[in-house]
Amino acid sequence: MEVVAKTRRARISPEKARHVARLLSGKNVEEALTIVALVPRKASKLWEKTLKSAIANAVNNADMDRGSLVVKSAQVGPGPTLKRFRPKARGMAGRIRKRTSHLSIILTDGEG
């Protein structure tokens, strides 16, 4: 059985969030929680929140055992981009793209 948790419109670029996502796939949830606690990146806090939500969904809604949960996949997709402008030389304006991400994590109990 699989359980999904998503964090939408997180204010971090997808490229930066993928650095932590690569570390999580295939790990059991206790090891994944340890990894996100020790990685010194902003993305790790966002992944920790999403992972804890997925664990709570699995335990409370799907009646799964926390000890047997494994991270099947941790995926990052692009969210909407906030477009801002900054004044530049000679009366021009430079575009600034503030990127957002959609974080998705899938937990499985190893059955089926």
Question: What pLDDT shows up at residue 111?
Answer: 66
Per-run averaged pLDDT (10 residues), the chain, 112 residues: 96 97 96 97 97 97 94 98 97 97 94 58
pLDDT given at position 110: 74
3-state secondary structure the chain: CEEEEEEEEECCCHHHHHHHHHHHCCCEHHHHHHHHHHCCCHHHHHHHHHHHHHHHHHHHHCCCCHHHCEEEEEEEEECCCEEEEEECHHHCEEEEEECCEEEEEEEECCCC
Question: Any idea which architecture 2-108 has in CATH?
Answer: Alpha-Beta Complex (3.90)
pTM tops 0.75:
yes
For the chain, the domains span: 2-108
